[in-house]
Homo-oligomer: A and B are copies of this chain.
């Protein structure tokens, strides 16, 4: 069992009954257990951690990379945290305490302190000796970070370059000085964007005086990118949970917030319809087309806002481009509006039983609703961004609710007017 890949063992654990999980986990060597724990999904991890004693846990955490150990400890109760940190080896425990200081979603929160930094005046031969010692107790490393005597980051060197240079050369002569690093407090999403932009495998993290504090590896960046994409998607539909494991009450509370916001929108739409009571009583057939007008407005609004929200999230556009995006979206909206307006308008003539007038009202309303939905869908995300709210929240419930209200108002105002004029 100890020969399986830790990620596969984690898969097996995840599907076991909680009571069997502990037994199974106990049968693993500490080094394997450490790797499995780092691979577990948050829910199974939490359940397992409750079962493990502090002394067993501290032994496992001693052999874990410091960033993974900090993540695990952050999930414990304060009491158990203190106990486990006390039982751990002094050096490991100090590393973890340091990492726990940084916010979970910052560069400091996702970095590991397991890296090899060497002085710039060391020779390539000396570096090979250091590397030899380092790999005996640490995970594989692809880069050596070169620092000056105050531990400031000066350059980087792929380990295999040591092989191809003369052993007498000093590291400062063979290192790459153009090293891209990020500060401790940078948001993890921004770090991921930089790693993606420059096609990096590892990125060093420095403090505010350029002292090397840790490194972030590509596997952590991959996790960040997946996590952020999920977060954006859930925000777009107005919910916040990402874990199937959360309790029913917590999930319901998260979803209710945006539902209640849209519910107020619905009440507002209700009062608008009430104010058109006379028109409604005169032409009941107007009701038949409420769903199609609401659907068109909502769907078109979401399509437009999604383009803007994703472009803002992936940094494809910025505020200076708002007019260019808006102009293009309007052209698309006119095209879609003409096709849908003509189509549904024609259908309304036949299905409505109110002759040409209802067809004209429905057709123009669909066209106008699509145009307005495009405008709100394009502009609202920019406004949210300006006020530092995640634009993703603008894309779902909010935009559809606003679009519904505007579309229904246009529909009934136009109907009241045209049925008075055309009869």
Task: List residues of A whose CB falls within 8 A of some B CB.
Answer: 5, 7, 39, 41, 128, 131-132, 135, 140-142, 158-164, 178, 180, 192, 195-201, 217-219, 221-223, 225-226, 229-230, 232-234, 236-239, 241, 244, 248-249, 251-252, 255-256, 258-260, 262-263, 265-267, 269-271, 273-274, 277, 280-281, 284-285, 287-296, 298-300, 302-303, 306-307, 310-311, 314, 316-317, 325, 328, 331-332, 335-336, 339-340, 343-344, 347, 351, 396-397, 400-401, 404, 408
Expressed in whole angstroms, the Cα–Cα distance for A325 and B251 within the complex equals: 13
- Are A239 and B160 neighbours in the complex by a CB distance under 8 Å? no
**Contacts A/B (CB < 8 Å), 20 sampled:** A128-B163, A135-B161, A135-B164, A140-B160, A142-B160, A162-B163, A192-B222, A199-B219, A221-B222, A229-B229, A233-B236, A248-B331, A248-B332, A252-B332, A260-B340, A269-B291, A287-B287, A290-B290, A291-B404, A291-B408
In contact, B219 and A299 (Cβ under 8 angstroms): no
- Please name the 4 residue pairs, one residue from A and one from B, whose CB atoms are nearest each other, closest first: A266-B292, A229-B229, A199-B219, A159-B160
Q: Tell me which residues across on chain B come within 8 A of A255, comparing CB atoms.
A: 300, 303, 332, 336
- Distance in Å: Cβ of A119 to nearest Cβ of chain B: 19
- Please determine whether B311 and A244 come into contact, CB atoms closer than 8 angstroms: yes
Question: Are A299 and B238 neighbours in the complex by a CB distance under 8 Å?
Answer: yes
* Partner of A314 from B225, B230, B236 at Cβ < 8 Å: B230
- A142-B201, A266-B295 known, 8 other contacts, Cβ within 8 Å: A222-B225, A233-B233, A256-B340, A259-B336, A267-B344, A267-B351, A270-B288, A277-B284
- Contact across chains for A256 and B336 when beta carbons are under 8 A apart: yes
Chain B residues near A296 (CB, 8 Å)?
259, 262-263, 266
Q: Given A5-B198, A280-B284, A299-B258, A226–B266 Cβ distance below 8 Å?
A: no
Q: CB-CB < 8 A to A221: which residues of B?
A: 218, 222
Query: Does the CB pair A294–B292 fall under 8 Å?
Result: no
Whether B317 pairs with A244 at a CB distance below 8 angstroms is yes
Contact A163 B158 (CB under 8 A): no
Q: How far is the CA of A232 from the CA of B311 in the complex (A)?
A: 15
Question: Which of A237, A269, A280, A336 counts the most chain B CB atoms within 10 A?
Answer: A237
Closest to A136 in B: B164
